[in-house]
Amino acid sequence: MKMKEERQDLNEVEEKDHVNGEKSVSCSIKKTEVKKPFSCCQCGNTFTRKESLKNHMLIHTGIKPFICSQCGKSFIQKAHLKSHLVTHTSEKPFSCSQCGNTFTFKSSLKNHMLIHTGIKSFICSQCGKSFIQKEQLKSHLVTHSSEKPFSCSQCGKSFTHKVGLKNHMIIHTGIKPFSCSQCGKSFTQKSSLKDHMKIHTGIKSFSCSQCGKRFIRNSNFKRHMLIHAGIKSFICSQCGKSFTLKG
């Protein structure tokens, strides 16, 4: 009889909770706990579904079964192929509220937004230089190695970055798309035009710490610094005399 009364009391409490829209503690715990019974034997990552584990295992095999019909690029997971296919369309649905730049992927927009914050969270462990984006740091880290994997098929010159090779290849075409608005002189690369424009402004940004001499161009400043270093790299084939500068 006593047990029946206790059961009735408990039912009344549960019914009251249901009416008030409240959840019992046991129910709350059951909903927040997410079981991941499927574990990867290679790295220990756990998954909720067996299908997710199956997709994940492809990473360890290196097999890329999902191939793009547009360019032939292959991917480990179907989701990666789906994401890649957007690059073949002109759609850029993600727009920056600060500058209006549009992006194909939401992740690209998120990465771009860091530029507007000015925060440089990614720091180089080699030299301490900091960067806004992770990709910038990754690109910078290559400069600390002697590797130059990108080689020019025309002259054999090698570059650290692919973009360096791409810019260099314009030299072989003879096209000079960058023209000076002051004197009309044209250049193969934008950086060369930017460097040239300093002549018209007269600004000498590069100063020698040894003698105080100032230079418009960084290349002239570097050549000048060889004088103080005493380096004489250029040797005369006729008499054997060495010089700091080629000229």
pLDDT at 17: 45
Is the distance from CB of 187 to CB of 196 less than 8 angstroms?
A: yes
What are 128-142's pLDDT values in tens digits? 888 888 888 888 888
Q: What is the pTM of this model?
A: 0.35
Pick out the chain residues at pLDDT < 50.
1-32
pLDDT at 183: 93
What are 191-225's pLDDT values in tens digits? 888 888 888 888 888 888 889 899 888 888 888 88
* Dist. CA 92–CA 67, nearest whole Å: 23
